Amino acid sequence: MNTSSRVQSVDRAILILKCFKDNKKELKLSEISDQLGLNKSTVHGIINTLKYHGLIDQNEKTQKYRLGLALIELGELVISSMDVRNIAYPIIEEVCEKLEETVHVAILNGLEVVYVDKKECNSSIKISTKIGSRNRAYCTADGKVLLAHLDEEIQQQIIPEKIEKVTPNTINNKQQILRELALIKKQGYALDHEENLIGLICVAAPVFDYTGEAKYGVSVTGPAVRMTNEKVNEAINILVEATKRISYKLGYREQ
């Protein structure tokens, strides 16, 4: 961006707002001035304007400044305008074009995944999953990558002791599933080697929202004849990068 087109006073106002952190919820005028290297009178004038608009508040007892309630209203407006399908679709379209395989976006609903969006590939053999359709979470890559980011107590509660085998490759031992979920969380992606449907291999990575919750799973699914080890590794790299981009657009900032 051309810095000459920026307005200095607006720049400074934004920098003042960014001074406030989790460990610095309230600040003195001098602290803000020192942090930004600006004259106190300059900072005071900008803060008074921000106060007028409700973006900055002041503790009457300590006279320290803090972020104002108007920011909550603006934040809620931003969140409500975030349609994950609109945000994610251009990116999943790129993934589909690069890998020439079908890409899905899914959410977790109990012990099932629900598909909320998809981009089909143009290959002769392709996956026809309807938006709104469901699958068992424990044997799909999308489901496993979302289960992996739940609290361990919740995992223990929702994963049953008796697990139905969907294919001969389905893991149906609860402790084995829990161990796999721990590994998935650590590595950042999940695999489904014909565990949900014989002949299909799937790779998935999580999308995090602004709260840090793994809200969506994005997956690449293809026939086993095309999903070689080399292609699976390529899919993992492309998918992890893509989901990081979607997460960022949803307000997630990795710690």
Q: Say if residue 191 is in the same domain as residue 107.
A: yes
Q: Say if residue 65 is in the same domain as residue 166.
A: no
pLDDT above 90 for 119: no
Q: What is the CATH number of the domain that holds 48?
A: 1.10.10.10
User: Where would I find the H helices in the chain?
Assistant: 8-18, 29-36, 40-52, 70-80, 84-99, 141-147, 152-158, 174-187, 229-249
127: in domain:
yes
What lies within 8 Å, CB to CB, of 61 at 6+ separation is: none
Q: Say if residue 61 is in the same domain as residue 97.
A: no
pLDDT above 80 for 128: no
pLDDT tens digit sequence for 160-176: 998 999 999 999 999 99
Q: Say if residue 151 is in the same domain as residue 230.
A: yes
How many independent structural domains does the chain possess? 2
What is the Cα–Cα distance from 204 to 45, expressed in whole angstroms? 50
Q: Say if residue 163 is in the same domain as residue 65.
A: no
pLDDT for the residue numbered 4? 65
pLDDT tens digit sequence for 221-247: 999 999 999 999 999 999 999 999 999
Q: Say if residue 198 is in the same domain as residue 115.
A: yes
Question: What domain range includes position 60?
Answer: 3-79
Domain boundary among 52, 79, 106: 79
Rg of the chain, C-alpha, whole Å: 23
Q: Say if residue 111 is in the same domain as residue 199.
A: yes
pLDDT for the residue numbered 60? 87
pLDDT above 60 for 126: no
Give the pTM. 0.70
pLDDT above 60 for 81: no
pLDDT for the residue numbered 240? 96
Q: Say if residue 92 is in the same domain as residue 59.
A: no
Tokens linked to 61: 């007892």
Q: Say if residue 187 is in the same domain as residue 130.
A: yes
Q: Say if residue 15 is in the same domain as residue 59.
A: yes
217: in domain:
yes
Q: Say if residue 239 is in the same domain as residue 194.
A: yes
Q: Are 144 and 163 in contact (CB under 8 A)?
A: no
What is the Cα–Cα distance from 9 to 28, expressed in whole angstroms? 20
pLDDT above 60 for 80: no
Q: Say if residue 75 is in the same domain as residue 89.
A: no
117: in domain:
yes
97: in domain:
yes
Q: What is the CATH number of the domain that holds 225?
A: 3.30.450.40
Q: Which of the 8 DSSP states describes residue 80? A: H
Backbone angles phi, psi at 219, to 5 degrees: -130, 155
| Averaged confidence pLDDT in the chain | 89
Helix, strand, coil percentages, rounded to 5, for the chain:
45, 20, 35
Please identify which residue in the block is written with the tokens 């460990």: 23
